[in-house]
A and B are shown apart, each in its own frame.
Chain A
Amino acid sequence: MTRTTMNWRHVANGAGLVVILVIAGLVAHSTPSIAEKQAPIAVRGELGEPVAGRNILATVDAVRVARSVEASNGWAGGTAGVWVVVDVSVEARVDGLDPTLGYARLRVGETTFSASTRPGDGSIAERGMTVGIAWTGPLMFELPLDVVSSPAAANAELQLALDSDPRVDSLLVIPVDLRALDVDESIETDRPVWGAR
């Protein structure tokens, strides 16, 4: 073997090593993190339209904003901010082994607000769900007034999922323009109803 051939072989080996390192770097850089691998699978929908995930089906009928709320069970919620009331119909689709509406959140910008459980059975937050039989009723979110009038409120998102941890499962996402809504003085909500409408 000549000296020239030996030199070319060294160059080829070096180039091969560089290619392998570049590929390894790309793979390492593009591999999803654990949080990304376990992230909820967003299913985007629209107000008034049924939105279906793996084990959840929901229709958001209306979104209202008021300074105070009176629930069907007599609970009255005064607040220094405002109440965002979401009238929604939710059911499970496949697996009925104790699912609950455990994840009902309103995201405004980088801030996320959970549906209040203070109204008790006047709301369907954390209500047990049945496959094929919907619960229809209100969800109530307590927000600071300046959040509802902030620019981010125009692109707010309602997020719904069964159980409290939506990772590796469907997360329904419905955009809501909170800035376009009038702020009522008071709202009376309907009694949650179980069954076909």
Chain B
Amino acid sequence: MKAWLRSNRVGLVAVAILLPATVGITFANEWTAYFGQRPSIPVDVAPGDEGAFAATRWAVEKTERIPATSTEGDEIGLPAGSELVVVSVRVTPGELDSNGESPRCLLDLEELDGGTMTRGWGDALSEPISFDTADGAESICTASNTEPYLLETIFVVPADAGDELALAVTVVGELPEYLRLRL
């Protein structure tokens, strides 16, 4: 047996190295492709700070939580046991693309626990509530806006949503990175 091991040692060492390497490279390729196509690397911006992302500057101006139990929440028609989170962001487009447009984006709200996302919500623009966006504010990233503008977005969350919240700004061309504005 010892003689067999000795005479085949080169091949055995090659198998011991190449087999795990092949498995590792295959897994790495699959996971890299998976995470590369979705917002998986947050670029964090502390509350009150301005973030630079997608050749644009983003700064949260105001965050408001309106409970369903309040008079305003009742007027808006919030569902029982919920709150409306209103986030106002000052967007300052910088370098425009070849069509002269600022970046389009997707906006989501993340609930975090020690920096790790626990739950997420898409915007509530199509939900059955009556909320009027502030005068002059946009409710979505508007590519034709090449001058600084105010973006006001809304989310309906359960009343037990935590205080560690962040607005996630996803620009397709920047994936897998996305901007995470802490609120």
The answer to whether A and B interact is yes
Q: Does B48 contact A (CB under 8 A)?
A: no
Check: A130 CB closer than 8 A to any chain B CB.
yes
CB nearest neighbor in A for B155: A96
Interface residues of B in 58-105 (CB under 8 A from A): 68, 78-82
Tell me if B79 and A131 are in contact (CB < 8 A): no
Closest A residue to B106 by CB, please name it: A97
CB-contact partner of A131 in B81, B120, B126, under 8 A: B120
List, in ascending order, chain B residues with CB within 8 A of A194's CB.
79, 128
Q: Are A131 and B158 in contact (CB under 8 A)?
A: yes
A94 lies within 8 A of B126 (CB)? no
Majority secondary structure of chain B interface residues (helix, strand, loop or mixed): strand
Whether A133 sits at the interface, judged by CB under 8 Å, is yes
| A128 contact set on B, CB distance < 8 A | 126-127
Residues 87-133 of A at the B interface (beta carbon under 8 Å): 93-98, 128, 130-133
- CB neighbours of A132 from chain B (8 A): 119, 157-158, 160-161
Q: Which chain A positions have C-beta within 8 A of B80?
A: 195-197
Residue numbers in B under 8 Å from A193 (CB-CB): 79
Interface size class on chain A is 10 to 19
User: Which one of A96, A195, A196, A197 contacts B122 once the chains associate, using CB atoms below 8 Å?
Assistant: A96
Q: Closest B residue to A135 by CB, please name it.
A: B79
* Neighbour of A133 across the interface among B108, B118, B122, B158, CB < 8 A: B158
How far is A95 from B120 in the complex, measured between Cα atoms in Å? 5
Q: Which chain A residues border B79 with CB–CB below 8 Å?
A: 133, 193-196
Smallest CB separation, B29 vs chain A (Å): 18
B156 at the binding interface (Cβ < 8 Å): yes
A98 to B81, Cβ gap below 8 A? no
Please determine whether B156 and A130 come into contact, CB atoms closer than 8 angstroms.
yes
Among candidates B78, B82, B119, B128, residue contacting A96 with C-beta atoms closer than 8 Å: B119
A93 proximity list for chain B (CB < 8 A): 119
Interface string of A179-197 (1 = CB under 8 A from B): 0000000000000011111
Is the C-beta of B121 less than 8 angstroms from some C-beta in chain A?
yes
Across-interface contacts of B118 in A (CB, < 8 A): 94
Which residues in B have their C-beta under 8 angstroms from that of A97? 108, 120, 122
Inter-chain CA distance A131–B127, complex, in Å, is: 13
Q: How far is the CA of A140 from the CA of B119 in the complex (A)?
A: 30
Give B14 Cβ to nearest chain A Cβ, in Å.
Answer: 20
Check A133 against B119 for contact (C-beta < 8 Å): no
A97-B108, A130-B156, A133-B156 given; A196·B121 CB < 8 A? no
B118, B126, B157 — which one has the most chain A CB atoms within 10 A of its CB? B157
A196 CA / B44 CA spacing, docked (Å):
33
B68 CB contacts on chain A under 8 angstroms: 195
A93 to B121, CA, bound (A): 10
New contact pairs (9) apart from A97-B122, A133-B158, CB-CB < 8 Å = A93-B119, A94-B118, A96-B122, A131-B157, A132-B157, A132-B158, A133-B81, A195-B81, A196-B80
- Listed by A's residue number, 20 A-B pairs whose Cβ atoms lie within 8 Å are A93-B119, A94-B120, A95-B120, A96-B120, A98-B122, A128-B127, A130-B121, A130-B127, A131-B120, A131-B157, A131-B158, A132-B119, A132-B160, A133-B79, A133-B81, A133-B157, A195-B68, A195-B78, A195-B79, A195-B82
Binding site for A on B (CB under 8 A): 68, 78-82, 108, 118-122, 126-128, 156-158, 160-161
| 5 closest A-B pairs by CB | A195-B79, A196-B81, A132-B158, A195-B80, A96-B121
